[in-house]
Structures are given as structure tokens and as C-alpha cells.
Amino acid sequence: MTYHFDPTILREYDIRGIIGQTLGPDDARAIGRSFASLLREAGGSKVAVGYDGRVSSPTLEHALIEGLTASGCDVVRIGMGPTPMLYYAEASAEDVHGGIQITGSHNPPNYNGFKMVFQGRPFFGEDIQRLGRVAADGGWRDGTGTVEERAILNEYVERLLSGLGGIEPAALEGLRVGWDAGNGAAGPALEALAARLPGEHHLLYTDVDGDFPNHHPDPTVEANLADLRALVAEKNLDFGIAFDGDGDRIGAIDGEGRVIWGDQLLMIYAEDLLARLPSATVIADVKASRALFDHVAQHGGTPVMWKTGHSLIKSKMKETGAPLAGEMSGHVFFADDYYGYDDALYAGVRLLAASARLGRSVTELRGAMPAMVNTPEMRFQVDETRKFAAIDEVKARLADSPADVDGTDGVRVTTADGWWLLRASNTQDVLVARAESESEEGLERLMAQIDEQLALSGLERGAQAGH
């Protein structure tokens, strides 16, 4: 039997589509069959399965498990929870060899998808294409797998608490923190975690609701932090933490309501970590501020700029042995005392711990950061066939430029004014641009360079594309 997926759902980092249009139970069943066949070929036999709070997730879970067991894999059902709880189930249990989380992450409610881990490593890129080929070729193994249920929420929360790293509870008793789960899958775990954390904790939207009635669960969009900002102001809290729909990305604001962006959070985590692990490698994606890379170096660490994408960052961490990495998008990865995957709940605990160990409030830490002038991430539509070619053209034109040109992921150009970035998205037909300077005038000159390069390739920034 052969099966053909809609080609738009087999993406770089995961599988994701629109329910009833490009994704449904038949796809979930076929994903299960292909994944199980690949895992058995690699010597594995047991898969953990979790799902997020979307309305379509239970149906997809049922079909996925049918596919996994029909190709001979045993299944451990962990139920509804955040994606990092699924990662934990896979990483912490010796008898589990792979994991699949059914989640639409921060996409609109009518989307859903699958994030996968395979024998302790991210399953992405060519792995996902191979999964599609196995289905198309009908290369499925047959078998009869078993299904068991494991309630791991309490064990997972216990593990999250270890992120306090031996800090005495008394040192955190005066802390007052706001948390916003955004009606996403992290809600129940957050309630259990906050009940056991020292200090005073105020929670928003922990009821799981796949229609996201209060605001969209994407903490990298500042408008989605409005309710958390209001809570912090109203109750005079020390800071606030927000999660995305499946709990693997963190957002934060300080006590004055200022956003602490992904690279700024990484500055705090790095300073804390480098006090204990001098000269450690810290990885950040190409969209991160120069201030972060300078900060890591100033504190004795080795900063590494790498490609955007949580699977790519995780792979680079394994290669370099880096104990810490992060992305502008709010994915933060700890491998010093944790497993190296992106877990926003754990990152929240580590923010409490970092502030306590550094002896400064989160607001003080945010206030001490250099005041850079930068653009948000600008995304604009470009034909799929042109996006990578355009970047190659820019690289070729800048080959003899006196500026510092980094081609790690797209083109990042550093000049006396600061830096600008142009890269092709791996998941959408868009180009991504960003620029940063120490002055408005410098930023304008950097933006003019981006526009000049786009024009030379017959493109323009034009209307911005959504996420």
C-alpha cells in the first residue's frame, strides 16, 4: 500500500498542515506507519506519543497510534501536555526510542502537526522527506504493537524544579511572578509547577482551549503580551513569563513592562551559566543581537552564531558540546543540567534561578543591557523558486565587500553602523530581514543597504508576510 502526503505539510522542522484541507487522520496513520518502519529499521521499538490542546489533536493521536502499532512499534501514551513533556518522556526513559508530539505550535487553531524525536536526536529535514518517501513507496513494515499509558506530569514537574539548582527556597520567597499560558498545552503543567515554586505566582489562561479565546499563543508578538503586561503592572510583580501554544518557546517582560526578547533572555542565562562554567560555548541564531555575542565573550564564554531553526540548533549543540543555546524566537536549550531540548517551563524556572544567583532583579538585568536600535523580524513574500537564489546573488555581489559578511545562514553583514541580515525561511516562501544599530540614522543606512540588495535582485520589501 502506498500513501502520498500533500507536499506542503512535509516541512523542514516538522509536519504541519490545515485540518480538513491538507492534514487529517489518514495522514496521521501514514506518519505512524512510516515513522515506526524507520525506527524498527534503526533498531528501536517503542514510541512515546503526546498531544497539545487543539480540538483536532485527540483524533490525530488515535490515528497516529493505529499507524505506529500496525507497523510493529509499541506506544507509550503520555496524554495531553506541552511538547517538552513529550521530549522528557523520550529522553528520560531507557525503554523509549522515539517520540511524536501532535501540535500546531503557535499556528492558528485550524492547523495541527507533528514534532518528532528519533533515538535521542531531532527528526527533521531529510528525515521528514524520507518519511514521505517510505509512504510513497509503500515501504511499511507490518506488526502488532502494544499500547500503554504513563502519567508523567508529576515526574516532569519534579524535574523542572531541579532547574532551581540548589537555591534555598528562602532566597526566592519574596519573588512575585506573573505567568501566561495562553490557553495552550502548558497550562496544567504550569499550575502544578507554580504550586510548588517558592514565592508568589499569578497565573493567566491555564485552561486549555484550542480556540485560544484570549489571545494567540505566540509570545514573540508583542501584542500577545498585553494581558501579562497589565497583570505585572496591576499587581506590581517582579516580572512576567509567557508561553507559546505547545510550551517550547518562552517570552518575558520585566517589572517595568519592557519585553525581554529571546536574545536578551539568553544574555541573562549566559551570564549565570558562565559564572559556573567558564569558557563554555553559547550558541545563538543569526538573528540575535550583537550585544549577546559581545556579552558572552565579555563573561569569558565562546559565542557561536548558527543557523535559525530549533532542530538545527539542537544538532549544533550536540556537535560542539555547548551547554546553552537560544533563538530570537524564544526557543532556549539547556544542556548543562538538562537534556538540551527547548523547554519554556524549564527556561522560566532558570530565569528565577539566574536572577537569584546573580543577585539582581530581572528588571535590573534587563535595564543594564545596551540600548540597541533594531527592527523586528521583517518577513516578506517571495516566490519559492527565488528565495534561495536571491540570497546567493546577494552573497556573490558582496564577495569583495569591505564589510564583514557572514554566510552561516543567509547573509549577515556587519558595518560601522551595526549589522543587517537577509535570509530565506526554511518553512515558508518568505525572506526574513533584520537590522540593528546604535542609532536611528545608522539603522536607516543599514535598511537602505537591504533595499539596495533586494532591488538588484528584482525584489522589494513591500507588504510583510505573516508567520
Q: Indicate whether 322 and 381 sit together in one domain.
A: no
Element of type H or E holding 446: helix 440-456
Q: Examine residue 93 and state whether it is found in any structural domain, yes or no.
A: yes
* Model confidence at 383: pLDDT above 90: no
Q: What is the rounded CA–CA span in Å between residue 458 and residue 29?
A: 43
Q: How confident is the model at residue 462 (pLDDT cuts 50, 70, 90)?
A: low
Q: Are residues 446 and 404 in the same domain?
A: yes
Tens-digit pLDDT profile for residues 259-309: 999 999 999 999 999 999 999 999 999 999 999 999 999 999 999 999 998
Give 185-224 pLDDT, tens digit per residue.
Answer: 999 999 999 999 999 999 999 999 999 999 999 999 999 9
400 vs 284 pLDDT, higher one: 284
pLDDT band at 467 (very low <50, low <70, confident <90, very high): very low
Asked, for residue 465, whether it belongs to a domain, the answer is no
**What are the distances in angstroms from CA 113 to CA 46, 127, 342?**
20, 16, 18
| pLDDT of res. 366 | 98
Q: pTM to 2 decimals? A: 0.95
pLDDT score of 464: 55
pLDDT over 70 percentage in the chain: 99
The cell for 311 is 532542530
Alpha helices, H only, 330-439? 344-358, 362-367, 384-397
pLDDT tens digits along 411-434: 999 999 999 999 998 877 899 999
**CATH of residue 121:** 3.40.120.10
- Whether residues 207 and 307 fall in one domain: yes
pLDDT-above-90 percentage for the chain: 89
Q: Are 145 and 211 in the same domain?
A: no
Is there a single domain that holds both residue 258 and residue 141?
A: no
Q: How many domains does the chain have?
A: 3
Q: Are 393 and 287 found together in one domain?
A: no
Going by their DSSP bridges, the two strands 250-254 and 259-260 should be labelled as: antiparallel
With a cut of 70, say whether residue 44 has pLDDT above it.
yes
The answer to whether residue 434 is domain-embedded is: yes
Q: Among 247-251, 381-385, 388-392, whose mean pLDDT is lowest?
A: 381-385
Q: Is residue 166 part of a domain?
A: no
Q: Are residues 198 and 329 in the same domain?
A: yes
With a cut of 80, say whether residue 72 has pLDDT above it: yes
What's the domain range around 246? 171-367
Residues 378 and 356 in one domain: no
Q: How far is CA 206 from the centre of its chain?
A: 20
Residue 184's contacts (CB-CB under 8 Å, 6 or more residues apart) are: 52, 53, 82, 208, 212, 217, 243, 244, 245, 246, 247
Q: Which of 101, 119, 152 is where one domain is finished?
A: 152
In the predicted model, what is the mean pLDDT of residues 326-340? 96
Averaged pLDDT for residues 87-104: 97
In a domain, 342, yes or no: yes
- β-strand partners of 406: 412
Domain match, 285 and 203 both: yes
Q: How far is CA 97 from CA 46, 50, 278, 312, 361, in A?
A: 5, 14, 34, 20, 41
Kindly name the residue from 34, 56, 57, 105 that is annotated as catalytic.
105
Residue 367 Cα to chain centre, angstroms: 25
| Residue 417, domain CATH | 3.30.310.50
160 in any annotated domain: no
Residue range 5-14: mean pLDDT, rounded: 91
Is 45 noted as a catalytic residue in this protein?
Answer: no
Cα-based angle 290, 291, 297 (whole degrees, multiple of 5): 95
Q: Do 273 and 397 share a domain, yes or no? A: no
219 and 244 in a common domain: yes
Q: What is the pLDDT, as a whole number, of residue 460?
A: 85
Q: Which residue has the higher pLDDT, 376 or 163?
A: 163
- Look at residues 367, 392, 414 and tell me which one is the last residue of a structural domain: 367
Question: How far apart (Å, rounded) are the C-alpha atoms in residues 147 and 47?
Answer: 10
Residue with more model confidence, 48 or 108: 48
Q: Are residues 297 and 407 in the same domain?
A: no
Residue at which a domain ends, from 367, 388, 410: 367
**Under 8 Å between Cβ of 103 and 54:** yes
Mean pLDDT of the chain: 95
Flag whether 463 is in a domain: no
Asked whether residue 210 is domain-assigned, the answer is: yes
pLDDT value at residue 334: 98
